[in-house]
Chain A
Amino acid sequence: EDKVVQSPLSLVVHEGDTVTLNCSYEVTNFRSLLWYKQEKKAPTFLFMLTSSGIEKKSGRLSSILDKKELFSILNITATQTGDSAVYLCGTYRSSNTGKLIFGQGTTLQVKP
């Protein structure tokens, strides 16, 4: 059975800190891994990673995929209170219809 596990489940940091969120997966015919940010509403798309070792960046956020060790990390540098959210990772199989298997999420709280 496909499984996506995120760690830590929750994290409290202070503004300016750097955080690393982890996502490990066991997925048959893995195709891609996606990261979403969820505040008090709908998840918003951050990154899609398909190739191993290629870092994707958007401002203070970056992410990389390791297909050999079956994990991805999401880094946030110089955190701000607006980064407080639940961060979800999800995976696609190559063979499936578009279903995303999500992890349970990491709740990040950034204190002023």
Chain B
Amino acid sequence: EAEVAQSPRYKITEKSQAVAFWCDPISGHATLYWYRQILGQGPELLVQFQDESVVDDSQLPKDRFSAERLKGVDSTLKIQPAELGDSAMYLCASSLEPLDGYTFGSGTRLTVV
């Protein structure tokens, strides 16, 4: 069964350091999402791509977060500088079309110390 690949699975970083996460969606899925899930809460959308274009980044803290999907395939989410409040699970998901149910990757659990 096709999967969304994410790496790393776990990341511990010191505050004020830079950190990056990578996601490779299911082949052929044009829509890619990055969600953040704080412990005990539901996931919240950070950014959505349609191919290489950003469709929605209204909840992305743009002073410290950036995301790109240069060739419309894999994607990178970066945080610089990391803050303690960024500790969370970062989930990537993809879908063939918007409004199809998505497939999530296994996530990157970030701990900022």
Residue of A nearest to B40 (CB): A104
- A25 CB–B CB distance under 8 Å: no
Distance (whole angstroms) from the CB of A71 to the closest CB of chain B: 16
Which of B43, B56, B95 touches A88 (beta carbons < 8 Å)? B43
10 A-B pairs whose Cβ atoms sit less than 8 Å apart in the complex: A34-B101, A42-B4, A42-B105, A42-B107, A43-B43, A43-B91, A98-B31, A98-B102, A99-B45, A105-B41
Contact present for A98 and B98 (CB under 8 Å): yes
Binding site for B on A (CB under 8 A): 4, 31-32, 34, 36, 41-45, 48, 88, 90, 92, 96-100, 102-105
A97 engages B107 (CB within 8 Å):
no
Q: Give every chain B residue within 8 A of A103 (Cβ-Cβ).
A: 42
Q: Chain A contacts of B99 at CB under 8 A?
A: 31-32, 92, 98
Q: Give residues in B with beta carbon < 8 Å to A.
A: 4, 31, 33, 40-45, 48, 50, 55-56, 91, 95, 97-107
CB of A97 within 8 A of CB of B50, answer yes
Q: Once bound together, how far apart are the Cα atoms of A34 and B42, in whole Å?
A: 13
How far does the alpha carbon of A45 sit from the alpha carbon of B94 in the complex, in Å?
12
List A contacts of B44 (CB < 8 A).
Answer: 102
Q: Is the Cβ of A97 less than 8 Å from the Cβ of B104?
A: no
Query: In the complex, are the beta carbons of B105 and A97 less than 8 A apart?
Result: no
A111 to B97, CA, bound (A): 39
**What CA separation (Å) do A82 and B97 show in the bound complex?**
31
- Cα distance, A102 to B97, chains bound together (Å): 19
